[in-house]
A and B are shown apart, each in its own frame.
Chain A
Amino acid sequence: MEIGLNHYLVLSTILFAIGLIGVMRRKNLLLLFFATEILLNSVNIAFAAISHYYGDLTGQMFAFFVIAIAASEVAVGLGLLIVWHKRHGNIDLETMTSMRG
């Protein structure tokens, strides 16, 4: 029962799929953000695992930067969310149709 790289990759895949499902079915913008966090984290696991099994620190470095990006995204995203909420009184994706072509 040796745990290999593939185990982690499968886990990462499953988490990524969950994140994608969330992205697709969530209509609440806040919960949509949650789903994107899951996406980012699933990738982090893959990075850390590869880093470990190949004895290379580059994977971990990328994971750091992904975390930094995730933090920035949350800060800016939440700011925008608040602005939207103040303006329209809701955060429902279905109402955001101003880009209708």
Chain B
Amino acid sequence: MFEAIAFYLFSFLTITMFFIAVTTSQALYALTALAAGMIFISAFFFILGADFLGAIQIVVYSGAVMALYAFGMMFFDTTRDVKEKQGNKFIVVGMGVLAAVLVVVIFAAPIVGDNIVALYPMTEGAGNTQEVGMVLFTKYLVPFEVAAVMLLVAMIAGIVLAGKKMDISLTLTSDDKIEEDENNKKVLL
């Protein structure tokens, strides 16, 4: 009973928040709504017993990602509205079809897969975090390391793209100028 109440409550909140996030024309509202939605989602994880995942969700999304977006927004003139041209009804119809199809697919899939066998069953008597750690560092060690490398690459890419030579601004110079500079070996390194 308690679970049901929690589920419906958080479902309502999440859907509302995300709906605001995609419909509002104010970037700041959208950001706030998104951050709130992320936190509500972590609630589902806690309900489902995936405590560690829930914690990660809050830390990564509300902490890191939202902070990134917030910093990113400082670069842009958020007050100047990008004109959101409203799409025609076609999109709405498309949405309906899409949603319906997805619902069917997602309903059908578990039924088809009734005979799924748990590959890495939950260990009895261990907490969620412990379980996750055991699986992550045995079976998923290599993907884990790859993900780490990927994050590193992403970090470097972010720094290089956004941060490098901010005073010179590679991007504001014309292509000809960049080429000229490269030819003159005044490469911006």
Among residues of A, the one whose C-beta sits closest to the C-beta of B160 is: A79
A87 touching B60 by the CB < 8 A rule?
no
Interfacial chain B residues near A52, Cβ < 8 Å: 48-50
Residue of B nearest to A61 (CB): B140
Residue of A nearest to B104 (CB): A13
Q: Given contacts A82-B162, A90-B82, is CB(A48)–CB(B147) below 8 Å?
A: no
CA distance A79 to B87 in the complex (A): 28
Q: Is the CB of A30 within 8 A of B73?
A: yes
Q: Knowing A25-B84, A38-B21 touch, does A48 contact B48 (C-beta < 8 A)?
A: yes
Contact status B44-A79, CB under 8 Å: no
A13 pairs with B158, CB closer than 8 A: no
- Residue among B1, B136, B154, B169 with max Cβ neighbours from chain A (10 Å): B154
Q: Which residues of B contact A34 (CB under 8 A)?
A: 21-22, 30-31, 34, 69
**List of A residues within 8 angstroms of B106 by Cβ:** 9-10, 12-13, 46
Query: Contacts of B154 on A, CB cut-off 8 Å?
Result: 71-73, 75-76
Which residues of chain A (20-58) have a CB below 8 Å from chain B? 20-22, 24-28, 30-31, 33-35, 37-38, 41, 44-46, 48-52, 54-58
Interface residues of A (CB under 8 A from B): 1-3, 5-22, 24-28, 30-31, 33-35, 37-38, 41, 44-46, 48-52, 54-58, 60-61, 63-65, 67-76, 78-87, 90-92, 94
Interface residues of B (CB under 8 A from A): 1, 3-4, 7, 11, 14-15, 18-19, 21-22, 27, 30-31, 34, 37-38, 41, 44-45, 48-50, 52-53, 56-57, 60-61, 64-65, 68-69, 72-73, 75-76, 82-87, 91, 94-95, 98-99, 102-103, 106-107, 110, 116, 118-122, 131-132, 135-136, 139-140, 143, 147, 150-151, 153-155, 157-162, 169-172
Cβ-closest 9 pairs across A and B: A79-B161, A22-B22, A72-B154, A87-B171, A56-B118, A75-B158, A28-B82, A86-B171, A52-B48
